[in-house]
Each structure stands twice: as structure tokens, then as C-alpha cells.
Amino acid sequence: MLNRLKKELNDIQIQPPLNISAGPKNDNLYEWEALLIGPEDTPYHSGVFYLDIYIPQDYPIKPPNIIFKTKIFHPNINSAGHICLDILKNQWSPSLTISKLLLSICSLLNDPNIDDPLVPDIAKLYNENKEEYINTAKTWTTLYAC
């Protein structure tokens, strides 16, 4: 497992995904931090979002736990920073990497899964008044992610 984590770290440092950086906290390969720049054409555009990544001892059999440290207004991310994303739960596969997970989180920012919300009130707003949802998400991005 340590060899896999070292390889993933090397890969992400040599070829980081667009607008993403990640690496261990204090040289601890089981605790990483990531920085994600909000994708274009989203209310999160240009926001700087920090995430903590906790890697279990039985990784890659079990998925890492990824938590947003930066506040974000999103139907699949709650106020504690927990993320509702199928590949972090029941659709996890050992073939996935931390880099791929971070790219999937970027995709989630671009395309929320309102059919499986972690915050139903935000999903409801998204469905009923998308303009207000977008404005609120932009405001939160300006307040907390800049």
C-alpha cells in the first residue's frame, strides 16, 4: 500500500490534474491535503477550495475520506464538508486513484447530483430557483473561497 501511495503522489506531482494540487500533510502518507480551483462555467469559478484527505490503512481496498475544509454551497456537500459521491461510498473501486477522485469532485461541482443530495434544501433550491442557487453559490465562493 505504501508503494501505491508513493506512486500516486509521484504521478500527481509530475502530472497534476488541471486546477488541482495534492500531497501529504507533514510527510504523512495517510493524511493529504488538496487544493482545488473552482471550474470555469460554474458558480465556484476561481474559488480556492481546500480539502483534507484521510487514507485508511486498507487503501485501496477501502476509499479515502475526503472533506472540504472550505465552506461551499452545494447540494452534495454539507456544512461539515462531507461529500456525497458514489465513488467515495458504494461505487468505490481499487482501480481509482486520489487524482481521479479529485477530478470527480471537480465534475460534481460542475454537475451536482440533485437526485442524491446530502443537503436536500440546497437541492430543492437548485430545482425550484436555479438562479438563486447560482447567486448563493457565487456569494459563498466569494466569501469563503477567495
Active site residue 84: yes
User: What whole-number distance in Å separates Cα of residue 15 and Cα of residue 8?
Assistant: 10
User: What whole-number distance in Å separates Cα of residue 66 and Cα of residue 16?
Assistant: 18
Catalytic residue among 53, 83, 84, 98: 84
Residue 22 near residue 12, CB atoms below 8 Å? yes
Residue 113 near residue 84, CB atoms below 8 Å? yes
Active-site residues, by number, are 84
